[in-house]
């Protein structure tokens, strides 16, 4: 099975969509819809490469996905005066998957604050109710020469960060900067979680852990924060009452940051709140050699037919320092599409094939600058994808 060891699409939903036998292919008349929001900076550069991979699967494996490209971010603001169109926003909830590139950067920062606040990526995540953000982290033996960690520390790492994505300090009220009567400015954000939000993400993480290595680490700062004392208490209760077979370890976030670098293999599934999950996943990028390598998938609860809304995005941002140069690493975006193959397009075999192709391209020594070591010629964004497509073709022909 794949990286997730889990097909999150409900089996009940699959026969209906697949003509009964669970196979994919043109003959089955199965088709999917995906909205692509390239966004800012390197976002459109890397999502374009993921779409090339999608096209390969369409041509060679009968996967019928229609990609609809829409503007998001600075380009959308220039065109329509909004970060994302309202009609597009509504459709994000209806399609099978959304592939998102990146947000932010100098052009984005020019957009008036009240418009950015209304339309941000955070609003998309909330609007789609994708509360469970999966960020798999793999150690690549092929990159042992470029990763700053020891080869034996990263070899065999297969960690899944489960980040709560719809709550916590990102959304808590009150928030803002006010000026008090004596003229002092005061900035406030609120870390808040209510019981059902913690229960929902805890059950998701426990379910996933049960189908992987059976070991869950829950991360908090309960030695200081009351909100995380509640987090720890509820995760403990859900574990004891509903998942007695899963081994649960609580870890305080500052220690966790150190442990991820010292001995990442101790982790199977790591559950964290919105902000800690954000920070720990960038940190874990060091294991894979570059932020440009990390994919993510964000999922809602299933609806009555078992379908989950799903947002796929590389973990990295708009990388203004390299945008427009054609040198961004597309693998985070390509592997995000790989997660969509598994989770939204009912194609776990193809997802595994794509992961093998990425290993193959790296083993062949094809490297964008962020994963280069020593001399040699760096590959462009497109050349990195060319290498993945060549590997896919080789695996397909074998």
The residues that touch ligand IPM, with contacts defined as CB under 6 A, are 103-104, 121-122, 278, 315, 317
Nearer to ligand NAD, 198 or 291 (CB): 291
282 in active site? yes
Q: In whole angstroms, what is the distance from residue 86 CA to residue 80 CA?
A: 11
CB 292 within 8 A of CB 270: no
Hey, is 194 helix, strand or coil? coil
| Residue numbers 364-393 binding ligand NAD by CB under 6 A | 370
CB 257 within 8 A of CB 280: yes
Min separation Cβ 284 and ligand IPM, Å: 12
Binding partner of 322, given ligand IPM, Mn ion, ligand NAD, none, CB within 5-8 angstroms per partner class:
ligand NAD
Nearer to Mn ion, 24 or 130 (CB): 130
Binder of ligand NAD out of 49, 96, 119, 313 (CB under 6 A): 313
Q: Of 57-65, 151-159, 326-334, 348-356, which part binds ligand NAD (CB under 6 A)? A: 326-334
Which among 77, 221, 243, 273 is annotated as catalytic? 221
User: Does residue 288 interact with ligand NAD by CB under 6 A?
Assistant: no
Binder of ligand NAD out of 2, 38, 44, 105 (CB under 6 A): 105
Nearest Cα to Cα of residue 100 among 48, 164, 47: 47
Nearer to Mn ion, 278 or 350 (CB): 278
386 in active site? no
**Number of residues located near ligand NAD, criterion CB under 6 A:** 22
Min separation Cβ 248 and ligand IPM, Å: 25
Binder of ligand NAD out of 44, 264, 295, 332 (CB under 6 A): 332
Nearer to ligand IPM, 41 or 264 (CB): 41
Q: What DSSP state is assigned to residue 38?
A: E
Min separation Cβ 9 and Mn ion, Å: 26
Q: In whole angstroms, what is the distance from residue 253 CA to residue 231 CA?
A: 13
Min separation Cβ 288 and Mn ion, Å: 15
Q: In whole angstroms, what is the distance from residue 29 CA to residue 21 CA?
A: 12
The pair of structure tokens assigned to 17 is 């969509």
Which among 108, 140, 170, 243 is annotated as catalytic? 170
User: Does residue 291 interact with ligand NAD by CB under 6 A?
Assistant: yes
Positions touching Mn ion (CB under 5 A) are 278
Distances (CA, A) of 230 to 78, 194, 195, 198, 379: 44, 9, 8, 9, 48
Nearest Cα to Cα of residue 333 among 287, 378, 384, 281: 384
Q: Exposure of 295 by Cβ count < 10 A (0-12 exposed, 13-18 middle, 19+ buried)?
A: buried
Nearer to ligand NAD, 9 or 84 (CB): 84
Residue 180 CA, distance from chain mean position: 40
DSSP codes, 14-30: HHHHHTTS---SGGGT-
Name the CA radius of gyration of the chain, rounded. 21
Binding site for ligand NAD (CB under 6 A): 42, 46, 102-105, 121, 290-292, 313, 316-322, 328-329, 332, 370
Catalytic residues: 170, 221, 254, 278, 282
């Amino acid at each position: 099975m794949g990286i997730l060891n889990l097909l999150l699409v409900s089996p009940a939903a699959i026969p209906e969509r697949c003509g009964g036998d669970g196979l994919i292919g043109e003959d089955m008349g199965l088709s999917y819809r995906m909205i692509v929001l390239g966004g800012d900076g390197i976002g459109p550069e890397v999502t374009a490469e993921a779409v090339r991979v999608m096209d390969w699967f369409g041509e060679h494996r009968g996967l019928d996905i229609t990609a609809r490209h829409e503007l998001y971010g600075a380009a959308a603001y220039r065109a329509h005066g909004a970060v994302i169109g309202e009609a597009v926003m509504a459709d994000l909830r209806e399609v099978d998957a959304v592939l998102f590139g990146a947000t932010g950067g100098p052009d984005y920062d020019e957009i008036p604050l009240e418009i950015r606040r209304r339309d941000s990526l955070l609003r998309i995540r909330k609007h789609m109710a994708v509360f469970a953000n999966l960020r798999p982290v793999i150690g690549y033996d092929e990159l042992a020469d470029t990763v700053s960690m020891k080869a034996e520390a990263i070899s065999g790492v297969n960690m899944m960060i489960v980040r709560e994505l719809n709550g916590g300090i990102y959304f808590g009220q009150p928030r803002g900067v006010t000026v008090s009567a004596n003229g002092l400015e005061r900035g406030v954000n609120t870390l808040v979680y209510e019981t059902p939000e913690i229960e929902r993400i805890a059950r998701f993480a426990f379910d996933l852990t049960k189908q992987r290595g059976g070991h869950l680490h829950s991360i908090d700062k309960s030695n200081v924060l009351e909100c995380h004392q509640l987090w720890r208490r509820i995760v403990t209760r859900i574990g004891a009452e509903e998942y007695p077979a899963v081994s649960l370890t609580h870890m305080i976030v500052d220690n966790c940051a150190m442990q991820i670098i010292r001995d990442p293999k101790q982790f199977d599934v790591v559950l964290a709140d919105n902000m800690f999950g954000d920070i720990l996943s960038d940190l874990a990028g060091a294991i894979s050699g570059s932020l440009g390598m990390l994919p993510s998938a964000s999922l809602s609860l299933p609806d009555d037919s078992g379908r989950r809304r799903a947002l796929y995005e590389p973990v990295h941002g708009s990388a203004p320092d390299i945008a427009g140069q054609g040198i961004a690493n597309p693998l985070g975006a390509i592997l995000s599409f790989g997660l969509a193959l598994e989770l939204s397009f009912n194609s776990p075999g193809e997802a595994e094939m794509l992961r093998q192709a990425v290993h193959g391209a790296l083993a062949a020594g094809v490297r964008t600058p962020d994963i280069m070591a020593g001399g040699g010629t760096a590959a462009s964004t497109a050349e990195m994808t060319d290498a993945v497509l060549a590997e896919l073709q080789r695996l397909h022909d074998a």
